[in-house]
Amino acid sequence: MLTAQGAPDSDQHKLLDQACQCAVLANEGYLGRQNGEWAHNGDAVDVALLIMAHKAGYKRPEETSHFPEIDSMPFESERLYSASLNRVEGKSRAFVKGAFEKLLEMCSTALQPDGVTPLDKIAIETQARQLASEGYRVIALAFGDVQVGEQEDFNQEHLVDLTLIGLVGLIDPLRPESRPAVAKCRAAGIKVSMVTGDHPVTAYAIGRELDLLEDESQIVTGPQLKAAADEAEVDLMTQDAAVFARVEPTQKLDIVQSLQRNGHYVAVSGDGANDAPALRAAQVGVAMGKGGTDVARETAEIIVTDDNFDSIVDGVEEGRIAYANVRKVIFLLISTGAAELVLFVLAMIMALPLPLLAVQLLWLNLVTNGIQDVALAFEPGEGHELDRPPRPPQEAIFNRIMLERVIISAVVIGVVAFGLFKYLLDQGFSLEEARNGTLLLMVLFENVHVFNSRSETLSVFRHNPLRNKLLLGGTVIAQLVHIGAMYTPWLGDVLGASPVTFEQWLTLLGLALSVMLVMELHKIYWARFVARSGA
């Protein structure tokens, strides 16, 4: 509060009493007890002022009964203040609260312990900016007797020559996780911007605390956006801006559209009905589940149940993990399917019998891949999901690295399997024995290859197999199921599968490990030459 230095406590209490009276009369919030518990609703600023006044013994129902409300002007972002017209001692008195720069224009005097004195705007602005620089939202309170005719509506024209009561500083401390969450976003290639209705000085202080900006040149205000000549000038302002202050609700949509024109993929978080247009226009709308309005929740694509910004960052990480797992499953299925195609094409070119029967292909795809692809979908994160930039929205699933990996692995598996099939036939093995050996090799290939699929860039040997116990167990089960089929007479007859010697097992396992060796070499090549070049 603005009070005279060294004024007696009783005089300061008089100023506080006047401020509390104004705070509860020019208020649209509610604070009271319901069913034995405290309840409130309305804007956070209104509720905070009601709490302040309540502690000083001022309650809105009692004040409005003593000073009946004649008319009111609700708070609107366009004018940045609210006002109430009340009957006080037979006169019409206006009580106003709002942005200090707006109320200073309405006031000509200030309330001091020794009475009403001419308003010193420079001193008021200095103290208001000092509070704002410390991160406080500064609200001014004022009152004055006005003359409103019986046929007139209470409006802004009546709010002149008011008396400034003082300033109130409100602060909503940043959550401890806010700054680390912003740092995570920066590491993940996500630019975070703050859009607020607060004064630029307050916004700058909060932005610095969040490490969003370095200097005031990165702040853009609502009036600056409104004064822009065209969209091109707006886009130039938003290009490097990190904080938007004194922004009107309608301008949030303008900011979103400008960022989109600048090539950004925009996500917007909001909780109010005024945020709905921006939430709808953004590629991703995120509403607050606890404090958000029904309009915001119905408009958004995502609802954060704990109203925590860090949860949004966690959602980004989980989204990247889920997308990566989809790619891993697709890679496994397509590469093994393409390998089978390579095997059959080579056999046709060489005029050899079919390497595998239809029932063997069905067994291979259902039993081996059918277990592994489900388990691979539950692969945990690799740990660096937030250390890389976002993928371009237009990027296809089959990008360069995916195509290279599919082609290389398919060729290796298909060529090695065909080489084994032809070798067995050339060595005098029967067609059934050659197919049995080829089928077992393909099962081993897929059981080895599933571990190649756990990451596009990290080595197999850097992955703890126990991190995805479902995948490890599923691979073991798939192998045991095939071994069981080999040793079950009736099932083995259907599949053309039969037991092999231990030496043959070792030979086939060595051949199956070839795909792991080749894929490890590809990962080394990609890390050293492609990723570093930024291709």
Contact 528, 422 (CB under 8 A): no
User: What distance in Å separates the CA atoms of residue 64 and residue 22, rounded to the nearest whole number?
Assistant: 11
User: What distance in Å separates the CA atoms of residue 307 and residue 53, rounded to the nearest whole number?
Assistant: 28
Quick one: tokens of 363?
A: 């067994």
Class in CATH terms, 178-311: alpha beta
Per-residue pLDDT, 289: 87
pLDDT tens per residue across all 535 residues of the chain: 343 334 445 667 888 999 999 999 999 999 988 888 888 888 889 999 999 999 999 999 999 999 999 999 999 878 889 999 999 988 999 999 999 999 999 999 999 888 899 999 999 999 999 999 999 999 999 999 998 877 788 999 999 999 999 999 998 888 888 999 999 999 999 999 999 988 999 999 999 999 999 888 999 999 999 999 899 999 999 999 999 999 988 899 999 999 999 999 999 998 888 899 999 999 999 999 887 888 999 999 999 998 888 999 999 999 999 999 999 999 999 999 999 999 999 999 999 999 999 999 999 988 888 888 889 999 999 888 898 888 888 888 899 999 999 999 999 999 999 999 999 999 999 999 999 999 999 999 999 999 999 999 999 998 888 899 999 999 999 999 999 999 999 998 999 999 999 999 999 999 999 999 999 999 999 988 887 665 5
The letter for the amino acid at 7 is A
Token look-up 């089978």 returns 340
Token look-up 């602060």 returns 171
Residue in 181, 523, 242 with CA at minimum distance from that of residue 386: 181
Per-residue pLDDT, 8: 47
Per-residue pLDDT, 472: 93
pTM, to two decimals: 0.80
CATH of span 9-170: 3.40.1110.10
| Structural domain spans, the chain | 9-170, 178-311, 318-533
Provide the CATH topology of domain 318-533.
Calcium-transporting ATPase, transmembrane domain (1.20.1110)
Contact 248, 225 (CB under 8 A): no
Per-residue pLDDT, 172: 82
- Strands 137-145, 194-195: pairing kind: unpaired
